[in-house]
Amino acid sequence: MTMRAPSIRRGGLLAVLTLGMALIAQPVFAAVKIERVVSPGGIVAWLVREPAVPLVTVEFAFRGGASQDAVDKVGLSQMTAQMLDEGAGELDSRAFQQEMEKSAIELSFRTGQDNFHGTLRTLGAHRAKAFDLLKLALGAPRFDAPELERIRAQTLSGLERETQNPNAIARRRWWEAAFPNHPYGRNSGGTIETVAKITPDDLKGYAKRVFAREYLTVAVVGDIDAPAVGAMLDQVFGGLPAKATLVAVPEAKPQKLGQRIVAELDVPQAVINFGGLGIARKDPDFIPAYIVNHILAGGSFSSRLYTEVREKRGLAYGVSGSLLWYRSAAVFAGSTATRNDRTKETLEIIEAEIKRMAAGGPDADEFAKAKSYLKGSYPLNLDTSSKIASQLVQIQLDDLGIDYIERRDQMIDAVTLDDARRVAKRLLDGGLLVTVVGRPAGLTAKGEGG
């Protein structure tokens, strides 16, 4: 699924934030202390206070995302994300950008399948102005026609390029096949046809339906105390509707497992996407599955797929797989790219290693090393204010509890080798859906039962 990366368009902001990140990266956050704050208006946020850091980071999410796009307006949520800092209230796009530039404020928005995210970063001294601008962006976006046409042109240009991009084609074909007639099967960035239809009224309607207090999740990190956070929550979010108007997203599982889709494209390397059933984040077997995935395909230099595909045979620069969890589906998904004349061999190795893991699970040595790595590397997700805020929002979205960071190592330690072997079979024994884009020698499509 395509997703717009946040951009920094404010000239002096990058230097300011680079200095701030350097300060934040010190051991001040070695022990993350999370405080639950409830505003006078009843809005909840998690706060990590650090007076030594001169920045304030606010990360938030509304339930919604691309799954709320209508079939004929796919790409609407992403267009909304791109338009929110293009003018609000009395400020047109240029004036809004100038206000952020003057105070070195960074404001960005992005959309996923299930949630619409926003990030605000500001120096503590300018937080009042930053909060005002965020309130305007969410509560009074302008969605002016000239800016919409500029963003539309950029989006259409990107979508046109994707029609010749083997990575984009393989990814899109996999999700379309795995989730037919389901929101997760659509490209979150839209299509040339659907993006062309999006109007300012569509953008306004999306904002009205999704930007509500009902499913709001907020995390704040930096030089700000609980009373100030409470006041900010009511100021920024208090005027939004109490209830969201969301379309239910039905539960789904990846379809067409066992099938292979081959799309011809004249490129020197073939791209392979593969995947199957996953395990939900709240499932008791998720942590064992997380360990198994790391051993099999976690992207580290020690994973089985990396060792067999790259280190031993030099077939690809990299190969990896991940556990993906959504509100209504769970997926195991991976990818690689290799020469057209080695595609068949590469895919056979991947499939053989997945079958071997499903049949026997990990051995004791790689299991112990994986647990040690997953525990030791986690603090890297907490070494800046932005990373901490992002983690806190995700922990809330996953409903893992405010003490999850403290409990995580214990949860990993509690997994036994027998657990991992049992879950490996559950995770990997259901078959794969594979998409290949390129000119793979000797590799053809395979249908159901083929």
Q: Each residue of 230-248: pLDDT tens digit?
A: 999 999 999 999 999 999 9
For the stretch 127-183, pLDDT in tens is 999 999 999 999 999 999 999 999 999 999 999 999 999 999 999 999 999 999 999
Q: What is the DSSP string of 420-435?
A: HHHHHHHHHTT--EEE
Strand 115-123 to 106-111 pairing: antiparallel
Please check the confidence at residue 300 and state whether its pLDDT lies above 80. no
pLDDT at site 58: 98
Please give the share of the chain, as a percent, with pLDDT higher than 70.
92
Q: Tell which phi-psi region holds residue 106, choosing left (phi > 0), alpha (psi between -120 and 50) or beta.
A: beta
Please check the confidence at residue 26 and state whether its pLDDT lies above 90. no
Strand 433-438 to 260-264 pairing: parallel
pLDDT at site 450: 57
The rounded distance, in Å, linking the Cα atoms of 249 and 327 is 8
Q: Which of 264, 176, 268, 315 is nearest to 445 (CA)?
A: 264
Report residue 302's pLDDT band, with 50, 70 and 90 as the boundaries: confident
Work out the end-to-end distance of the chain between its first and last CA atoms, rounded to an integer number of angstroms. Answer: 28
Report the half-sphere exposure of 229 (CA within 13 A, side-chain side).
25
Angle between helix 417-428 and 286-297 (nearest 10): 80
pTM (2 decimals)? Answer: 0.91
Q: What is the DSSP string of 358-421?
A: HHH---HHHHHHHHHHHHHHGGGGGSSHHHHHHHHHHHHHTT--TTHHHHHHHHHHT--HHHHH
For the stretch 284-293, pLDDT in tens is 999 999 999 9
Q: Which residues make beta-bridge pairs with 273?
A: 335, 435
Please check the confidence at residue 69 and state whether its pLDDT lies above 70. yes
| Statement: 260-438 belongs to CATH 3.30.830.10 | yes
Query: Residue 186 to residues 66, 75, 274, 436: CA-CA distances in angstroms?
Result: 9, 9, 17, 18
Look up the CATH superfamily of 13-237: Metalloenzyme, LuxS/M16 peptidase-like (3.30.830.10)
Q: What is the mean pLDDT of residues 191-212?
A: 98
Report residue 449's pLDDT band, with 50, 70 and 90 as the boundaries: low
For the stretch 243-270, pLDDT in tens is 999 999 999 999 999 999 999 999 999 9
Please give the share of the chain, as a percent, with pLDDT higher than 90.
90
Report residue 125's pLDDT band, with 50, 70 and 90 as the boundaries: very high
Q: What is the mean pLDDT of residues 190-195?
A: 98
> CATH 3.30.830.10 residue ranges in the chain?
13-237, 260-438
Q: What is the DSSP string of 11-62?
A: TTHHHHHHHHHHHHTSGGGSS---EEEE-TTS-EEEEEE-TTS-EEEEEEEE
